[in-house]
Chains A and B, each alone.
Chain A
């Protein structure tokens, strides 16, 4: 087992004996379940209304009425949930001084950062997989296009990677887990609101650049089933940037 795998295994072990994963997981699944339920009921009501008007069974687009809004709302809730998952990654190690063990072991800081990130990412992917039950059940009673569902999950997976990387960075900045969580809320909400700010500035180069930095536009395209390299580059590069900054922060703490 390589050191990176050892850290991941240890992190997963620590997460699953603490209540964090269970709390975050339960809330995450509850929100996903309630959201999809609400949108399905709405779609049902709409179908009834359409039938009364048209007098025949209406063909509804469940992708647009149920799945896409569920994914979009999930993106917002992830901003609030994922910082809770990442807040302890580095903050706790520093608080308990166990960081001295990691930093004096024959592994690089990049390996520590990557291992920390991958361990929370694995937990997130596990939770995301569990939500797959909602579209599966829906597919038993109706028909819809699976492709936008897959790209929607891809969008959530990429968005989660970016959020978690931001959370790891925030956790590296402080010894206090609460501060780390709030810091990543703040950073993510700021990036989210950049979309609105860009729109205010209109179709200028500055406005477009700022709007590009927000994750909303990229997310929307993916949930519609459009896989554009530009959007993949956006998510992956922002994730790498956040992890790189986390690496620099951890490295800089050695010099203080």
Chain B
């Protein structure tokens, strides 16, 4: 449905995105993840034909964004970073204007209006001036504007910014319900959001795509070792050394004296069974045993920050021995 090939955008000497390539299938929800200034908005603006790419080809529904912008625009609903609202209009007047701008017939406009007002719970504010609404409502009016003509492709730039937690959940549910019938690209820097609503995540940093995969596979791929957390009821002295002596265990980290250990094991080898038998067999009392998946947060930090920055915090800090061993 969406194809981006080697797209580069330069603003004078500044390169905003460089040789970005990805594609989105019909009905898929894709998240753009990246720090501010990474090139998320630029990519979206190219896809919506707001600006042309310096190099490369972007296609939406088979139409080239540069050659056939009208066909592309007809098929896209776009929520920009700043919702494009006219504060002097009421919600209803504004949405009517947008519908006419998108070329909806009077009948489609009426049904579309009723649909988005209901889906985004705008009923109570439909006759109020947009300028007088709270940030959360304004954001929802912006979303309503993107959904009004029921486009097959939705491009949402930070759709949950400015919403309260309850509204964020509602909007995420809404986006999830759009999956399948609509192709959605959304950008965010909130990581759980990407995991919660998207089938695929593109991590973009300094204008380049650094990773692209399903959220779970992304963390699996970046994991350099399996991590197991073990909590023992009565650990004998020197248990950490004895864990390390087990075949397959690479390093052991004991954060406190409470009997909790973090074991790093060889990739692709599940040692939980051995560890359980080892602890229980010695009668030390096994309280907890679990594998620790790498969170998207860890992946994000690892991919978007330089090694020297991460060295002091997060994932790297907990496993210094491994890094040293590799060096």
Residues of A within 8 A of B (CB): 1-3, 5-7, 9-10, 13-14, 17-18, 96-108, 254-256
Residues of A within 8 A of B52 (CB): 254-255
Chain A nearest CB from B65 CB (Å) reads 11
B residues 22-62 near A (Cβ < 8 Å) are: 45, 48-52
Residues of A within 8 A of B50 (CB): 100, 103-104, 254
> A14 touching B86 by the CB < 8 A rule?
yes
What is the number of residues of chain B that contact chain A, defined by CB distance less than 8 Å?
A: 30
10 tightest Cβ-Cβ pairs between the two chains A and B: A6-B100, A101-B84, A98-B84, A106-B73, A97-B82, A106-B74, A100-B80, A104-B48, A105-B101, A10-B97
> A3 touching B86 by the CB < 8 A rule?
no
Interface: B98 (CB within 8 A): yes
> B103 touching A10 by the CB < 8 A rule?
no
Q: How many pairs, one residue from A and one from B, have CB atoms within 8 Å of each other in the complex?
A: 79
> B89 touching A10 by the CB < 8 A rule?
yes
Q: A103-B50, A105-B73, A256-B11 are in contact. Are A98 and B86 (CB under 8 A)?
A: yes
> A104 touching B78 by the CB < 8 A rule?
yes
> A98 touching B51 by the CB < 8 A rule?
no
Interface: B102 (CB within 8 A): yes
> In the complex the two chains form, what is the Cα distance from A199 to B248 in whole Å?
97
Residues of A within 8 A of B87 (CB): 96
Q: List 14 A-B contacts (CB under 8 A).
A: A3-B100, A9-B97, A10-B86, A10-B89, A97-B80, A100-B50, A100-B80, A100-B84, A101-B84, A101-B101, A104-B76, A106-B73, A107-B101, A255-B51
Residues of B within 8 A of A14 (CB): 86, 88-89
Of A13, A102, A104, the most chain B CB neighbours within 10 A belong to A104
Chain A nearest CB from B153 CB (Å) reads 12
Interface: B287 (CB within 8 A): no
> In the complex the two chains form, what is the Cα distance from A130 to B293 in whole Å?
75
Chain A nearest CB from B223 CB (Å) reads 40
> A106 touching B78 by the CB < 8 A rule?
no
Interface: B160 (CB within 8 A): no
> In the complex the two chains form, what is the Cα distance from A18 to B88 in whole Å?
8
> A104 touching B73 by the CB < 8 A rule?
yes
**Which residue of chain A lies nearest to B155 when distances are taken between CB atoms in the complex?**
A104
Residues of A within 8 A of B45 (CB): 100
Q: A5-B100, A6-B100 are in contact. Are A97 and B84 (CB under 8 A)?
A: yes
> In the complex the two chains form, what is the Cα distance from A103 to B84 in whole Å?
11
Cβ 8 A contact of B101, one of A3, A100, A108: A3
> A17 touching B88 by the CB < 8 A rule?
yes
> In the complex the two chains form, what is the Cα distance from A181 to B73 in whole Å?
32
> In the complex the two chains form, what is the Cα distance from A13 to B81 in whole Å?
26
Of B11, B97, B98, the most chain A CB neighbours within 10 A belong to B97
Interface: B93 (CB within 8 A): yes
> In the complex the two chains form, what is the Cα distance from A4 to B17 in whole Å?
34
**Which residue of chain B lies nearest to A254 when distances are taken between CB atoms in the complex?**
B51
> B97 touching A6 by the CB < 8 A rule?
yes
> In the complex the two chains form, what is the Cα distance from A107 to B80 in whole Å?
18
Residues of B within 8 A of A13 (CB): 88-89, 93
B residues 90-138 near A (Cβ < 8 Å) are: 93, 97-98, 100-103, 106
Interface: B280 (CB within 8 A): no
> In the complex the two chains form, what is the Cα distance from A13 to B100 in whole Å?
15
Interface: B85 (CB within 8 A): yes
Chain A nearest CB from B306 CB (Å) reads 30
> In the complex the two chains form, what is the Cα distance from A13 to B93 in whole Å?
10
Additional pairs, 6, CB under 8 Å, beyond known A13-B89, A96-B87, A104-B78: A6-B101, A10-B86, A18-B88, A98-B84, A106-B103, A107-B101
Residues of B within 8 A of A103 (CB): 49-50
